[in-house]
Structure 1
C-alpha cells in the first residue's frame, strides 16, 4: 500500500512532473487541429459513398425479389 503524503508534498511533485512535459507550440496545435478536421471530412465522404452504394445494391436486390 502506498504511503500517504501531505498536500504540500503532493503539489510539489505535481509541479515537478508538469515541468517535464513537452508542450506543443501554437503552430503544432493548429496544424494538428486542421489535420483532424480534414480526416473527419474524408471519413464522412467515404462513409457517405459506401452508404449510397450499399443502399443502391440493396434497393436493386429488393426490386429483383418483387
Structure 2
C-alpha cells in the first residue's frame, strides 16, 4: 500500500469536502417534518401492536389460572 503525503491527503480531503451539496433550509424543514410524521405514525402503530399482544398475553394467562 502506497504511503500518502499528509499535505496531499489534506488537499484531497478539502477537495472532497467542496463537492458536498448542503440542503437548503426548505429541504431541511421538509425532511424534518416528514421524519416527525413518520415517527408519530410508527409510534402509534407499535403502541397498537404492543397493546394487542399485551391483551392476548393477559387473556392466555387468565386461562391458566
Q: How many residues align?
A: 65
Is 1:30 paired with 2:29? Answer: yes
Q: Deviations over 1:22-51 (max 9, x none)?
A: 221111111111111111111111111111
Match of 1:64 in 2: 63
Name the TM-score, length of structure 2 as normaliser. 0.81
**2:20 is equivalent to residue 21 of structure 1:** yes
Q: CA deviation at 1:63?
A: 1.2
Q: TM-score, normalised by structure 1?
A: 0.80
Instruction: Please list every run of 5 or more consecutive structure 1 residues that lacks an aligned counterpart in the other structure.
Output: none
RMSD: 1.4
